[in-house]
Structures are given as C-alpha cells and as structure tokens.
Amino acid sequence: MLTININYILGLTCIVFFIGLLGIILNRKNILTIIMSIELLLLAVNLNFAAFSVYLDDIVGQIFVLFVLTIAATESAIGLAIITVFYRLKNSIELEPIKKKITNKI
C-alpha cells in the first residue's frame, strides 16, 4: 500500500487555501470567482480535517467534513440562485452596483 507523508498533504492544503484566499483578495468584481474561491477555502479545510482524521485514527474529522460539505453545497446553491436573479434584473454580475447601493444606504 502506498503511504503519503502528512507533510505533503498539509502542503497541498496550504497551497489550495492560499489560492482561494488570493482569489478573494485580488478579485473584487466578479461574484462567481469569489464564490469559487470560498469553495476552494472550504475544500482545503476539509482536506485538512480528513488528513488529520486518518493520521490520528479518529472518525470525528471525517464526520465534520460531511457537515462542512453540506454547508458548502447549500452556500453554492443559494449563491448561484441569487446571482441568477441579479443577472436577470441587471444583465451583469459585477459587484460594483451592489457596493454602490449598500454604501448609499449607509
């Protein structure tokens, strides 16, 4: 059986997490990219939980992964529904009109 050192998995999760973080920080105009970046963050955290669950021989991390995946799927479905409605109303999915409306109300 092929065994992988946990350091390689932790390195991969760090890389995926920082790619998601950079996607959120650098792209402030497209809602779809921000949602995909949030999904990358959650994927990295889930992989980290699963890796430590296997490494420590404990099933709690794997159960927690199932809960986080459920929340991530719900977040994606609701986010895409909101984007679809917003696109039908404004014919655009840029964040600038949303930011302007929010700052004008405050």
Residue 76 lies in a domain: yes
Residue 91 lies in a domain: yes
Burial of 49 (0-12, 13-18, 19+ CB in 10 A): buried
More confident residue, 98 or 92: 92
pLDDT in tens, 18-72: 999 999 999 877 888 888 899 999 999 999 999 999 999 889 999 999 999 998 8
Residue 1 lies in a domain: no
User: Which residues span the domain enclosing 40?
Assistant: 6-105
Residue 95 lies in a domain: yes
pLDDT of residue 106: 65
Distance CA 61, CA 20 (A): 22
Domain count along the chain:
1
Residue 78 lies in a domain: yes
Whole-model pTM over 0.75: yes
CATH code at position 47:
1.10.287.3510
